[in-house]
């Protein structure tokens, strides 16, 4: 069994994500990645040398006027002693009149803003996002192919306008590792309600990476390693302290 919890600890040690007395909002979509992150954080909190507190935040866009059923996740959060706050917003009418590419961008901005605001209102100074190694590499190729830039998101980003720091503690884990961990832990999940799921530019990049991985085993980890060695987007290993 891959030590996913150990990889979260390693990410914290390498990128200095958690400080003493931090209050961290764990952003959950209800998918396997964010639920694995919540489970790992709940465990890490008990043995981390730095004492910190957790709260979980979720944003429900209510696509097609339907609320996501978070009941199993509410129960799980209660069991692990983490408060869950949910914000619902009917984005259906707003996005239905918008072209697909623009709708995805608009939805992402609204969701991100809502999560940040919930985190701040809960007294958090950091928000944890469930991006994994595959996401890092996918974003790298999106920026390369569409923008001509060697760039991805960063493991740690201070959002000066919001005065909150975004951390991505699962970046050392692959998507498959999180999937296996989630299944092993029998974590509750909810289906992705996005009407455009599976049809975005990111999915085309995902298919490209899958094709390359069949030809070149270890393709994702090798690209990520190259990003670390070149310190692309802050992924170079940091010095202790």
Domain range annotation of the chain:
4-234
* pLDDT 10s digits, 162-195: 999 999 999 999 999 999 999 999 999 998 776 6
* pLDDT 10s digits, 135-144: 999 999 999 9
Q: What are phi and psi of 40, to 5 degrees?
A: -65, -45
Residues 205/145, Cβ–Cβ less than 8 Å:
yes
3-state helix, strand, coil in the chain (%, to 5): 50, 10, 35
Which segment, 49-53, 59-63, 190-194, is predicted with the most confidence on average?
49-53
Closest CA relative to residue 2, chosen from 139, 133, 177: 177
Closest CA relative to residue 18, chosen from 155, 218, 220: 155
- Give the residue-averaged pLDDT of 210-223: 97
Report the percent of the chain where pLDDT is more than 70.
Answer: 90
Three-class SS state of 54: strand
The structure's pTM equals 0.92
pLDDT score at 197:
60
Length of the chain: 241
Please identify, in words, the CATH class of the domain defined by 4-234. Answer: alpha beta
* pLDDT 10s digits, 20-48: 999 999 999 999 999 999 999 999 999 99
* pLDDT 10s digits, 79-124: 999 999 999 987 766 666 555 556 677 778 888 999 999 999 999 9
Residue 75, pLDDT above cutoff 90: yes
Q: What confidence tier does 78 reach under pLDDT thresholds 50, 70, 90? A: very high
Give the CB-side neighbour count of residue 236, counting CA atoms within 13 A.
8
């Amino acid at each position: 069994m891959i030590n996913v919890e150990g990889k979260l600890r390693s990410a914290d040690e390498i990128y200095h994500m958690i400080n003493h007395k931090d209050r961290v909002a764990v952003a959950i979509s209800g998918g396997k990645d964010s639920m694995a992150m919540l489970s790992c954080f709940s465990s890490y909190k008990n043995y981390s040398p730095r004492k910190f507190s957790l709260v979980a935040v979720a944003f429900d866009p209510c696509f097609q006027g339907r609320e996501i059923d978070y009941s199993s996740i509410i129960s799980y959060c209660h069991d692990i002693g983490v408060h869950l706050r949910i914000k619902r917003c009917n984005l259906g009418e707003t996005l239905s009149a918008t072209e697909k590419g623009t709708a995805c961008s608009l939805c992402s901005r609204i969701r991100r803003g809502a999560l940040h605001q919930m985190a701040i209102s809960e007294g958090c100074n950091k928000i944890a996002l469930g991006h994994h190694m595959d996401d890092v590499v996918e974003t790298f190729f999106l920026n390369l192919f569409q923008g001509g830039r060697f760039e991805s998101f960063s493991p740690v980003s201070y959002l000066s306008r919001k005065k909150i720091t975004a951390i991505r503690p699962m970046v050392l884990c692959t998507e498959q590792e999180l999937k296996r961990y989630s299944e092993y832990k029998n974590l509750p999940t909810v289906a992705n309600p996005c009407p455009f799921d599976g049809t975005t530019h990111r999915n085309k990049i995902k298919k490209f990476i899958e094709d390359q991985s069949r030809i070149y085993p270890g393709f994702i980890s090798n690209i990520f390693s190259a990003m670390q060695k070149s310190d692309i987007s802050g992924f170079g290993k940091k010095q202790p302290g």
